[in-house]
């Protein structure tokens, strides 16, 4: 074992994913309870237990973080533009993305749309 491996702090994947989800939600201006509901979890359990990346909730959390990263890239990290995109009706969806991401199907649709948009940059 190398010295750097011994000195490096142990990263708990569950805690890391929970923190990433909550940070993304905060950047969007979403309450923690709403972020937890999107992945089918209780708000208090997120910080206490974390999110197992291999679980169904973990897969949804990873998709949510992917939405954040895509919108961040498309808007250049402008917080107002990110919030506007998430909370404004989208002609492609004929719906508000924030409403769509409340369901698994909607979250996946938004991810696919953003992946296609990023591919055009």
DSSP string, 64-100: HHHHHHHHHHHHTT-HHHHHHHHHS-BTTTTB-HHHH
CB 67 within 8 A of CB 111: yes
- pTM for this model (two decimals): 0.87
Nearest CA-CA partner of 101 in 42, 21, 47, 44:
21
Q: How far apart, in whole angstroms, are the C-alpha atoms of residue 113 and residue 14?
A: 27
pLDDT of residue 18: 96
Which own/partner pairs from 92-97 qualify as long-range (CB within 8 Å, at least 24 positions apart)? none
Dihedral sign of CA atoms 68, 71, 74, 80 in order? negative
Please give the average pLDDT of every successive group of 10 residues along the chain, which has 121 residues: 55 92 96 96 89 96 98 95 96 97 98 90 51
pLDDT of residue 109: 97
pLDDT of residue 7: 54
């Amino acid at each position: 074992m190398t010295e750097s491996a011994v000195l490096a702090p142990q990263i708990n994947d569950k805690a890391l994913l929970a923190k990433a989800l909550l940070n993304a939600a905060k950047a969007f201006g979403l309450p923690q309870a709403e972020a937890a509901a999107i992945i089918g979890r209780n708000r208090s359990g997120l910080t206490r237990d974390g999110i197992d990346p291999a679980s169904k909730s973990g897969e949804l959390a990873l998709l949510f973080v992917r939405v954040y990263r895509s919108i961040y890239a498309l808007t250049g990290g402008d917080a107002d533009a990110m919030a506007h995109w998430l909370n404004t009706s989208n002609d492609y969806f004929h719906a508000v993305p924030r409403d769509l991401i409340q369901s698994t199907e909607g979250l996946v649709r938004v991810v696919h749309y953003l992946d296609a948009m990023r591919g055009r940059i």
